[in-house]
Amino acid sequence: MDGLIFSSPVTGKTLYPPKQQLQKIIDTSKIDQLTMHYFRHILVSAMGESGVAGTVLSASLGHTNLDTVNTFYLSANHTNSSTIVNGVINEILQNNL
């Protein structure tokens, strides 16, 4: 079977690579650079913002160097950045009304 990875241990149905599902997410979100690796960044950033220790984050990613997590995964506070950007957008909208 083309694209077969393995059978679901729960349903026994054939499981295929997630390319179609990922493409649907890309099309809907308009995030062209979205990859499965990108989801690692999203998850670890969210966990870091929730207070999970860097050593736990590093271990969950399989990295032995904590600096890798700090530099590449926790370099931006996405929640705070989103709040700031939304505030700027609201301010622009209010000034234009």
Residues sharing a CB contact under 8 Å with residue 52, sequence separation 6 or more, in sequence order:
none
Q: What is the pLDDT of residue 76?
A: 61
- Tell me which residue of 6, 23, 25 sits closest to 15, measured CA to CA: 6
For residues 41 and 23, membership in a common domain is answered with no
Angle at 19 (CA atoms; ends 7, 36), nearest 5 degrees: 100
Q: What percent of the chain has pLDDT over 70?
A: 84
Q: Which domain holds residue 10?
A: 1-32
For residues 42 and 89, membership in a common domain is answered with yes
Neighbours of 44 (CB within 10 A): 22
For residues 48 and 6, membership in a common domain is answered with no
Facing residues of 91 across strands? none
Of the pLDDT bands very low, low, confident and very high (cuts 50, 70, 90), residue 44 is: confident
Q: Where in the chain does DSSP place strands (E)?
A: 6-7, 14-15
The total number of structural domains that make up the chain: 2
- Tell me which residue of 86, 83, 63, 85 sits closest to 73, measured CA to CA: 63
